[in-house]
Structure 1
Amino acid sequence: MTAGAVTETARILREKIVALAAHRLEAVEGDIELARARAHVRGTPSAGIDHAELAEPAYFRPEALPPGQSAGPMINPNVVEGQIAGGTVQGIGGALLEHLAHDDDGNPLATTFMDYLLPTTTEVPSIEYGHLEIPGPGPGGHKGVGEGGAIGAPPAHPEEL
């Protein structure tokens, strides 16, 4: 089931990247090739754009997107901000506080919340919210939010730096 979801998501993402690149490079979608985190016009690798440059308008300047590109409207801003806060706090905990210490036999040494630290209001900074709504292709134009704040935390783990 996961492989199918990942495959379909990757297909949709590829289509969006190609559409954005064709719009920015003033080319036909069929002439766009993707390689090494860049999109370029077939036969002219120098006429290309980085994926990061393609993503920037989707997040910060939706009016610059070509027709038909999307992100959805909020049904309940409180729920959306709750998801953002939850993911952010989860990410802070995972990257900075939580450590499941165990002995050589695999028994946990952190048996209470005195030993296993979870983020509280004391450890979490004020969270600033910014919302961007672009209708999705489905009924009502709605999309899910999820706890995106947790996504960036594992790669930022201090032991990995």
Structure 2
Amino acid sequence: MKKTTLLPLSALLFCALHLNAQPKLDTKPLALEGDIASHLVAGVDQFLLDELAASVAKRSAYWDRDFSSHEAYVKSVEPNRKRLAHILGLRDARTAIAGLSFNARTDAPALVGQTDRITIHAVSWPAFRDVTGTGLLLEPRGRDVVANVVAIPDSGQIPEQIAGLALGLTPELQYARRL
């Protein structure tokens, strides 16, 4: 390469590197003390708390509930239920079920536990298309069923723990078996 070409190219490269370190117009360098990730998390947390607080005031604009009858109420909240299902990604039509299937195998019966108050069975049900739900059916012994409850454990728990079948939770946290 000729010296006449190399000199202007070197000068251009030097200027470009020097200018690259300069802040853009109407900006300034980020100068946070401490962990930047912690600042980001704290900012997101504050934003979400502010949005949650503001949602209470905005809630009435999204709900038009009709309390005149059960049927009227169900009809009045249907748009909200559809919107929530969409937000949660529940866009497939649910499969109608006639009942739960007991999950029994040759090495594991459907009955997974019982006390003097409840019997507990492993069950499954069709959810949609090829997706199946599984869980535990807790039925009262010696008394009538008064309600159907879906008890969902915390992310760090398993259904057997809230039903009192597995170790890991103190008895007062085993709420499913007391329902």
TM range (shorter): under 0.3
Larger RCO (CA within 8 A; separation ≥ 6): 1
Structure with higher strand content: 2
Specify the structure having the higher radius of gyration (Cα): 2
TM-score (norm 2): 0.21
Structure with higher helix content: 1
TM-score (norm 1): 0.23
